[in-house]
Chains A and B, each alone.
Chain A
Amino acid sequence: MTALLRYQADLLLRSQRWLPPVILYAAFLAIGVQSGQPVLDSLGYAAAGLLPVAAWLVRICVTNEPDAARACVAAARGPARAHLACLLTALLASALLGVVTTLVVTLVSDPVSNGHRVHVPPLRAGAAGLLAALVCALLGSAVGALTNRPLLRSPGRAVPAMLLAALLSAVLAGSPAQAAVGGLVTGSQSGRVPVPLLPLAGAALVTAGAFAAACALTSRRSP
């Protein structure tokens, strides 16, 4: 698996297809996050934006290889494991993006609640933001896994489905991402730092299920 992950990560890095989502995400952050704003509010904004980026990175990773090259790798290690390596590479990339973003946002934001009423400890705020970012990275990866190959193969269907699913899972009540981001936003009003462990567990479960389904289907729905 390590060799597969290293191959996929190298492929992602060298393909440079990660640039558009990352640049778009940076622009999204530049618009919404300014230094001196309440830290929890900004972290919630950053985490919510990570969700579609994670889904997009999954799309990049699972479509990065030509079919023939994918077949060579799949023959060596089995199509399910080869596909899992694509999904995990994308998840790790978006988690890394989430960590860096959380760090930067925590550093530039003011450790206060909305209206500068209550002091918010920056370390705890950063930890809460990191958990929320992970929830969104996980859920976005799940969305990407379920709206790309092997389930939806034509881009005409995959891309709209992916964007719609990413939007819905960010705003619909009951979604772990909505719970995590909502926790940060309300925490910013009250000045109490949330610990979104329950959303994290939920997102991990959903993602494990989505990855398992996608991997199990690769050998059934190819090429």
Chain B
Amino acid sequence: MAIKSKKKLVENIIHGVFLVLGLVTVGCVLLITVYLIVSGIPAIREIGLIDFLFGKEWASTAAEPKYGILPFILTSIYGTAGAIVIGVPIGFFTAVYLAKQAPTKFKAVMESAISLLAGIPSVVYGFVGMMVLVPGIRKVFNVPDGASLLAAIIVLAVMILPSIIKVSMTALEAVPKEYEDASLALGATPVETYFRVSVPAAKSGIATAVVLGVGRAIGEAMAVMMVSGNAANMPSLFQSVRFLTTAVSSEMAYSSGLQQQALFSIALVLFLFIMLINATLNFFLKGQKEGT
């Protein structure tokens, strides 16, 4: 009996340890959420929700400071949308090719290259963008400064490629071979089969890939800060712009008072965007599980 109760004690202790570890994770999320809301609300209250969200001017260090973050919101949305418009077609077609058509050896090489792309730190993306992309844009489009929304879009498009390719590939590879056989046996060519049977069957996985790409793009700060010029303009393709993320990171170090509180409010807005993306992601993942 003594041995049994000792065993039970050990079980209970281990159970408790796991519970505490789990609570630490959940606690972090809760802490961040609560902290952001608590520290983000005051500035919004003082500035006014409408003026804050829809004000077109951000001049936090002026004698008469203005805290309108519409330029940041629009830049983040345009930048992400642009990255999706460029990155998704490239990633999607690459995934179809690799999952369905590529020779085994080539596929193995490509897959490790894509994993490597995913592992490159964002500061390196930013650095390469600064050294190659920014001067390139200046020359090709003949604009005074290449550090622009366009440069940020291109860098983001490259950065989201790995997750789009990998997640789409997994979904495409999971399509039952029977479907493809049936299509080929009806006289469809392989390419017709991929696009009319395999891709529709993998559509929720591919949608998940796109949403993951959106999440990655909207949350990126370092690389876009280095190539976008970081001026608080309303977004325009060849102008220097500032994102929600970079607005926080570029001023936080020297901010104080209302300015600092406003930065917390920006972080709160960004956080809400991310929550929205996560909710969308869960929606698609659920669809995938139900196999629709």
Do chains A and B stick together as partners? no
